[in-house]
Chain A
Amino acid sequence: MKKSVFFSALTVAGLAATASAAATLDDVKARGTLNCGVATGVPGFAAPNASGEWEGFDVAVCRAVATAVLGDPMAVEFVPTTGKTRFTALASGEIDVLARNTTWTFSRDVDLKFTFIGVNYYDGQGFMVPKELGVSSAKELDGATVCIQTGTTTELNLADFFRVNNLSYEPVPIETNSEAQQQYLAGACDVYTTDASGLAATRSTFENAADHVILPEIISKEPLGPLVRHGDDEWGDVVRWSFYAMVAAEEYGVTSANVGEMSATAGDNPEVNRLLGTEGNLGEMLGLDADFAKKIIENVGNYGEVFAANIGESTPIGLARGLNAQYTEGGLIYAPPFR
């Protein structure tokens, strides 16, 4: 008797589990909001502004997806995640997409069962030191006390870098960016290491930003990109092409200012026509409106606009496009064709 009850419980559980793995796109539409995992506060990438609205370069990806699926860039529920909690949040279904400066690595893609939908920022791990330390190269960091955020690829890169160069160091593991900042500014650690973009963002918030230098060595490849769970390819496609719509728009010169005009009638460039939905049925294939890309560009902007507004050279963060320029301008940003 006990056994049969146990097996029937197994069956019930099995059925329940199968039912729960439904299409994310339908879930999001039914819910009316997109649950988007972001960082707990990295200026320029994801941080609430003075009026409490999230904004930043990563946040723009969330807004783009929400615009594509729900037609409203504000229909996003932001879930702040730490380096430690982000993967669990995504795997458990608490968030639909994770847009939190997350490095695309083999084991995260394959072993952790996630799908990276592209790269929105090509980054690399760097070091920031106070100028008074008199260090001009990472090779001079022997014996340094280094603040690192735990649960990131950063600590593995760091261990490798110091091992390969036969230098010693003392790691100080930190849970969040703000704690790292506190320890670094008080001089409890000599060096702060994370992605170079994150360093620039953190430095922009310092009182005396000019007293700190980012060392020239970039010790790792950090392609940062949004990611979704394995196993729901339709949803992965929606996120992927919402992002690439912004990239393609910049390539073809479609901006939030001229998108209304360009999408009013079909123009000469068939690629632009297909992107904006005046030709073909690309939106429909994704299960979205034909003009999903138009709405994204209208409400969020193209890749270049988002970059300039959040982290570009005119902002306090002051990052140059560098690797993140369009491929036509010597960068690595490249959207597959919309056809």
Chain B
Amino acid sequence: MATTVSEPPKAGFRLSMLIYDTRYRSMTIQVVALIGFLILIGFLVSNTIQNLNELGKDVSFDFLEEPAGYDINQTLLDYNNQHSHLRAAVIGLLNTLLVAFLGCITATIIGVIVGVARLSNNWLVARLMTIYVEMFRNVPVLLWIVFAMAILIETLPSPRDFKSGEATMSLFGSTAFANQGIFIPRLMATPYAWLLLLVFLVCVAAVIYIRKRALKVQANTGRLPKTGLISLVTLVVPVCVVFLGLSALSRSNTQVMIAAGLDQPVTAAVAAEELGSFDLCYPSGSASSLAARQFLEAAEIKYRRQDYFSKDAARRNFIRGRCDVLVVDQSSASATLAALSEEMRDGTKLTVLADDFSEGNAVRVEYPRITETGIPRFEGGTVLRNSLLALWLALSLYTAAFIAEIVRAGILAISAGQTEAASALGLRPKRIMSLVVLPQALRVIIPPLISQYLNLTKNSSLAIAVGYMDLTGTLMGITLNQTGKELETLMIGMLIYLLISLSISAGMNWYNNRVKLVER
């Protein structure tokens, strides 16, 4: 069967068609716009390069390798002022990510609670939440950050007050709320304690599996098996057994101290007297250093602790002579001694002290306490500095006000019929909210929530107002100032913020695709 196809008349292409022919016109406009855009970019780039040349500055990133020279108070990785500018920037980046992460979580929790409570039938609760939302939404976030910091500094007692007895530690003497920050206890672990964490995680997974199976049984038979006791046993028993096992091992693991500047294997007490100073290398989070501290205190030996980030850092500083006494396992003491002697630069004599002590339990808690000599300060434990607290608090409360509005909008978008139907089935109000309304509201909530997360992350760059050393404070602050590389540091900084924002977007979009209504 033959079909006739009528061909359009073939016309030659003329230049005027670029403007007058609608088929080409849109393309022409786009090409012209592109050229204009490229000219603009070219102008900006060449102007910058020209001006920098004129000032005798060249664009180079070599400064990243030079030693930074400044110290940072909150470091999530090992860092000292001899590390490079690049390392300082990474420390700053981690601080940015930390506060953004903490902020997003708390902002979401507060936001959801406030958003739901704003729709409460309780007049007082609903009005209070309205006041909260309006107050935080309508004042610049920088003011909230500075305000939060001022409150923390002015209302909490200083370490001096703790020493003089005007203030006392809270929560059974374990935590100090001071105007330098909140000092909390921390865990000190032996090198094998990660096994404990692994076992714990496996147990949690097992409990989740048990719960899921119970729900399956309920779906099939209508009868929900009791899982409370078995969950508890699964969670507690294996962890206890492993803890006891590891502790038995670590308690029999004898520790000794290697001291620099002595050639006789004397006791610690004699060593402290002969050396004059007894600086204990104190790697953070290591059970053996806590054991050494307790041993020295029991023997009433005067010592000074030098805190280091890790065992490696402690060893490095011992070799440089910045601390005098290193704690090592007795079994490997002679090997370590030989290795250290070789590495010591100036041939300082080393010796293993005569005392030994047990490493103690696999995991123990170190409490912060106020120092007795010297400047009053908290030693031990870990600290949430007030700069972090102020920033975290202000950013979460501020963003939570916006999130609350988003949540409220999401809930209102679900028709009242859903709630009524659910109550007709006999569900209680709490369950209606968590099982019927919120899951449906999520698909309205997630897209605007992404931009709130992005806002929070970007607002964290106001950190320098309270002296929190984030990426803006390190790379685009002190590094910029010490090296004078404005263009380079700002470019790297902007690129990093862009990457952070894009990854948050990507992650949240993926989540959005999961929860959005599946249509056929």
Q: Chain A residues in contact with chain B, CB under 8 A?
A: 1-2, 5-6, 9-10, 12-14, 16-18, 20-21, 83-84, 87-88, 91, 107-108, 111-113, 132-133, 135, 140-145, 150-152, 155-156, 158-160, 162-163, 166, 168-175, 179, 182-183, 186-190, 229-231
The minimal Cβ–Cβ distance linking A167 to chain B, given in whole angstroms, is 10
Name 17 extra pairs, CB < 8 A, besides A5-B39, A13-B47, A231-B55: A5-B42, A9-B42, A12-B43, A17-B54, A107-B484, A111-B483, A113-B484, A142-B304, A151-B477, A156-B70, A159-B81, A171-B73, A173-B467, A182-B150, A186-B153, A187-B159, A189-B180
In the complex, which of the residues B46, B371, B483, B486 contacts A143, with contact meaning CB atoms closer than 8 Å?
Answer: B371
Query: How close is B512's CB to chain A, nearest CB, in angstroms?
Result: 38
The answer to whether the Cβ of B206 comes within 8 Å of any Cβ in the partner chain is no
> For B182, what are the chain A residues with a Cβ–Cβ distance below 8 Å?
none
* In the bound complex, CA of A150 to CA of B46 (Å): 32
Asked whether, in the complex, the Cβ of A155 is within 8 Å of the Cβ of B70, the reply is: yes
Closest CB in chain B relative to A98 CB, distance in Å: 14
Q: A13-B46, A172-B467, A187-B158 are in contact. Are A155 and B38 (CB under 8 A)?
A: no
Cβ of B426 under 8 Å from chain A: no
Q: How far is the CB of B382 from chain A (nearest CB, A)?
A: 13
Interface residue? B65 (CB, 8 A): no
- From known contacts A10-B46, A133-B375, A151-B477, infer whether A170 and B55 are also in contact, taking CB-CB under 8 Å: no
Give the residues from 153 to 195 in chain B that come closer than 8 angstroms, CB to CB, to chain A. 153-154, 158-161, 179-180
Q: Given that A6-B38, A113-B55, A113-B56 are known contacts, is A188 also in contact with B481, CB under 8 Å in the complex? A: no
A166 to B43: give the CA distance in the assembly, Å.
52
Interchain CB contact under 8 A, A88 and B486? yes
Chain A residues lying within 8 Å of B322, measured Cβ to Cβ, are 166
In the complex, are the beta carbons of B486 and A140 less than 8 A apart? no
The chain B residue with its CB closest to the CB of A190 is B375
Decide yes or no: A111 and B484 within 8 Å by CB, A84-B477, A182-B153 being known contacts.
Answer: yes
| B interface, CB within 8 angstroms of A | 35, 38-39, 42-43, 46-47, 50-51, 54-57, 69-73, 81, 150, 153-154, 158-161, 179-180, 279, 304, 306-307, 322, 371, 374-375, 377, 379, 386-387, 464-465, 467, 469, 473, 477-478, 480-484, 486
Chain A to chain B: the 6 pairs with minimum beta-carbon distance, closest first: A187-B158, A151-B481, A112-B484, A13-B47, A17-B50, A159-B81
A91 interface neighbour in B55, B154, B307, Cβ under 8 Å: B55
Residue contact A173 to B473, C-beta cutoff 8 Å: yes
A150-B473, A171-B71 known; A17+B179 contact, CB < 8 A: no
Picked from B47, B375, B377, B481, the residue with its CB within 8 Å of the CB of A135 is B375
**Minimum C-beta distance from B516 to chain A (A):** 42
A210 to B180, CA, bound (A): 24
A168 to B304 alpha-carbon distance, docked (Å) = 11
> Residues of A contacting B180 with CB < 8 Å?
145, 170, 188-189
Q: Which residues of A contact B154 (CB under 8 A)?
A: 186
CB pair B35–A143 under 8 Å, yes or no, is: no
- Which of A5, A83, A159 contacts B481 (CB under 8 A)? A83
Contact between A2 and B38, CB atoms less than 8 A apart:
yes
Nearest opposing residue in chain A for B464, CB measure: A175
**Known contacts A155-B70, A168-B307, A172-B467: A113-B57 contact under CB 8 Å:** yes
Q: Indicate if the CB atoms of A13 and B43 lie closer than 8 Å.
A: yes
Which A residues touch B379, using CB under 8 A? 143
Interchain CB contact (< 8 A) of A150 among B153, B160, B304, B464 = B464
Q: Which residues of A contact B43 (CB under 8 A)?
A: 9, 12-13
Closest Cβ–Cβ distance, residue A88 to chain B (whole Å): 6
The smallest C-beta distance from B355 to any residue of chain A, in angstroms, reads 24
Contacts of A158 in B (CB 8 A): 71
Of the A-B pairs whose beta carbons lie under 8 Å apart in the complex, a sample of 28, sorted by A's number, is A1-B35, A2-B35, A6-B38, A10-B42, A13-B47, A17-B47, A17-B50, A83-B481, A84-B480, A107-B484, A113-B55, A113-B56, A143-B374, A143-B377, A145-B377, A150-B481, A158-B71, A159-B81, A160-B69, A166-B322, A168-B306, A173-B464, A173-B477, A175-B465, A183-B153, A188-B158, A189-B180, A231-B54
CA distance A268 to B111 in the complex (A): 83
Which residues of B lie under 8 Å from residue A18 when comparing CB positions? 54
Chain A residues in 8 Å Cβ range of B153: 182-183, 186, 188
**Residues in B neighbouring A169, C-beta threshold 8 A:** 71
Report chain B residues within 8 Å CB of A84: 477, 480-481
Q: With A2-B38, A87-B484 given, is the CB distance from A186 to B47 under 8 Å?
A: no
Q: In the complex, what distance in Å separates the CA atom of A91 from the CA atom of B486?
A: 11
Residues of B within 8 A of A9 (CB): 39, 42-43, 46
Assembled-state Cα–Cα distance A218/B39 (Å):
55
B501 nearest CB across to chain A (Å) = 24
Whether B375 lies near A16 (C-beta < 8 A) is no
Q: Complex Cα distance A299/B464, Å?
A: 40
**Is the CB–CB distance between A150 and B377 below 8 Å?**
no
Is B179 a contact of A186 with CB atoms below 8 Å?
A: yes
* Centre residue among A17, A20, A91, A229 by max chain B CB count within 10 A: A17
Pick the residue among B159, B307, B467, B482 that contacts A174 (CB under 8 A): B467
A183 to chain B: which residues have CB within 8 Å?
153
A168 to B111, CA, bound (A): 41
Residues from chain A with Cβ under 8 Å of B467 in the complex = 150, 172-175, 179
Complex Cα spacing A91 to B38, Å:
28
Residue of B nearest to A85 (CB): B481
**Do A187 and B377 touch across chains, with their CB atoms under 8 A apart?**
no
Quick check: B377 and A144 within 8 Å, CB to CB?
yes
Contact A173 B55, CB 8 Å, known A5-B39, A168-B307: no
With CB as the reference atom, state the residue of chain B lying closest to A111: B484
Cα distance, A156 to B67, chains bound together (Å):
11
With both beta carbons as reference points, the residue of chain A lying nearest to B482 in the complex is identified as: A156
Smallest Cβ distance from B206 to chain A, in angstroms?
Answer: 43
Question: Smallest CB-CB separation from A159: which chain B residue?
Answer: B81
Q: How far is the CB of A39 from chain B (nearest CB, A)?
A: 15
CA distance A113 to B482 in the complex (A): 13
Q: Which residues of A contact B73 (CB under 8 A)?
A: 170-173
Given the complex of chains A and B, what is the CA–CA distance between A155 and B481 in angstroms? 11
Complex CA distance for A159 and B478, rounded to whole angstroms: 13
| The residue from B35, B69, B469 contacting A159, defined by CB atoms under 8 A apart | B69
A7 and chain B: residue at smallest CB distance:
B42
The CA-CA distance from A189 to B153 in the complex, in Å, is 10
| One of B42, B81, B464, B481 near A163 (C-beta < 8 A) | B81
Q: Which residue of the partner chain B has the closest CB to A152?
A: B481
A150 to B371, CA, bound (A): 28
Instruction: Tell me the complex Cα distance, A175–B154, Å.
Output: 18
Contact B478 A155 (CB under 8 A): yes
